[in-house]
Structure 1
C-alpha cells in the first residue's frame, strides 16, 4: 500500500483541518494516510489516518495551510520542515502556508499584509481557468528555486512549480468547497467568505488537479 504524509498544520481546526484533509484524501484511494502535526500537541480526533510523531518514508507529501506564519518563525518545527523540503525527492505539494514555507525553504521570501484576505477568484494554470479560494495574510514575494506560473490579487506569486523536482504549490485552498466554507463559518474559523461567493456553473480548482500537475498516479 502506498503512503501519503499530510503535514497537518491545521490539525486543531474543524473546517480546513479535519474536513479539509478528508476532502484531499478522497483523491488518494488505497493510500495509507499519515498525519504529522509538528506545530502542536493538541489535535482533533479525525477518526481516520495514523498520527505520527516523525516523518516516515512515503510516496507523497502534502503540507497544508496553517495559522502559524513564516514571518513569525518558530525555529524547531519550521526548521525541521524546511530541511524536509530541501532534502526530499518525494513528490511534494504545498497549500497556502505550505506554498509559503516551501518557497522560503528553497530560497524565496515571504511577507505579511496589513490585513487578511478572504476571497474567491479565477486562477489560470496551463490555460485552464478555474475558481480558487484564498484565505491568507502572508504571501510569497520571491519564489527562490520555484518557477512562478500564476498570480492573483493580493498574491503576486500564487502558484509555483519546481523546474526539476515534482514540487507544486498554491497559495489558494483547493480543499475548500461549499461544505468546508459553511463549516468554517459555523465554527467561527472563517468570517469573510460565503459558499454563495462561488460562481455557479464554473469549474473550481481541487486537490485532484494538484496531483495532475505533478503527474502523480493515484492507482
Structure 2
C-alpha cells in the first residue's frame, strides 16, 4: 500500500483541519494516511489516519495551511520542516502556509499584510480558470527556486511549480468547499467567507487538480 504524509498543521481545527484533510484524502484511495503535526501536542481525534511523531518514507507529502506564520519563526519544528523540503525527492504539495514555507525553504521570502484576506476569486493555471478560496495574512514575495505560474490581486505569487522536482504549491485552499466553509463559520474558525460567495455553475480548484499538476497517479 502506498503512503501519504500529511504535515497536518491545522490538526487542532475542525474545518480546514479535520474536515479539510478528509476532503483531500478522498482523492487518494488505497493510500495509508500518516498524520504529522509537529507544531502542537493538542490535536483533534480525526478517527482516520495514523498519527506519527516523525516523518516516514512515503510516496507523497502534503503540507497544509496553518495558524502559524513563517514571519514569526518557531525554530525547531519549522527548521525541521524546511530541511525536509530541501532534502526530499518525494512528490510534494503545499497549501497556504505549505506554499509559503516551501518557497521560503527554497530561497524565497514571505511577508505579512496588515489585515487577513478571506475571499473567493478566479485563478488560471495552464489555461484552466477555476474558483479558489483564499484565507491568509502572509504571502510570498519572492519564490526562490520555484517558478511562479499564477497570481491574484492579494497574492502576486499565488501558485508555484519547481522547474525540476515534483513540487507544486498554492496560496489558496483547494480543500475548502461549501461544507468546510460552513463548518468554519459555525465553529468560529472563519468569519469572512460565506459558501454563497461561490459563483454557481463555475468550476473550482480542488485537491485532485493539484495531484494532476505533478502527474501523481493515484491508482
Q: Shorter chain as normaliser: what TM range?
A: over 0.9
Distance apart, 1:142 and its partner CA: 0.0
Cα distance in 1 for partners of 2:29, 2:61 equals 15
Cα distance in 2 for partners of 1:66, 1:154 equals 18
Cα distance in 2 for partners of 1:150, 1:201 equals 22
The C-alpha deviation readout for 1:170-189, integer Å capped at 9, x for no partner, is 00000000000000000000
State the SS of the aligned residue for 1:152. coil
Cα distance in 2 for partners of 1:34, 1:190 equals 26
Give the alignment's Cα RMSD to 1 decimal. 0.1
Distance apart, 1:205 and its partner CA: 0.0
Distance apart, 1:153 and its partner CA: 1.1
Superposed, 1:102-181 pairs within 5 Å as 102-181=102-181
TM-score (norm 1): 1.00
- Answering whether residue 2 of structure 2 is matched by residue 2 of structure 1, we say yes
The C-alpha deviation readout for 1:119-139, integer Å capped at 9, x for no partner, is 000000000000000000000
The C-alpha deviation readout for 1:56-100, integer Å capped at 9, x for no partner, is 000000000000000000000000000000000000000000000
Distance apart, 1:14 and its partner CA: 0.1
TM-score (norm 2): 1.00
State the SS of the aligned residue for 1:85. helix
The C-alpha deviation readout for 1:38-57, integer Å capped at 9, x for no partner, is 00000000000000000000
Distance apart, 1:168 and its partner CA: 0.0
Give ranges in structure 2 of 5+ residues lacking alignment.
Answer: none
2:197 maps to 197
Distance apart, 1:156 and its partner CA: 0.2
Cα distance in 1 for partners of 2:63, 2:193 equals 23
Give ranges in structure 1 of 5+ residues lacking alignment.
Answer: none
Cα distance in 2 for partners of 1:202, 1:68 equals 32
The C-alpha deviation readout for 1:16-48, integer Å capped at 9, x for no partner, is 000000000000000000000000000000000
The C-alpha deviation readout for 1:142-172, integer Å capped at 9, x for no partner, is 0000000000011000000000000000000
1:24 maps to 24
Misfit runs of 4+, over 4 Å: none
Cα distance in 2 for partners of 1:17, 1:68 equals 13
State the SS of the aligned residue for 1:110. strand
Cα distance in 1 for partners of 2:169, 2:95 equals 6
2:215 maps to 215
State the SS of the aligned residue for 2:193. coil
Cα distance in 2 for partners of 1:163, 1:116 equals 30
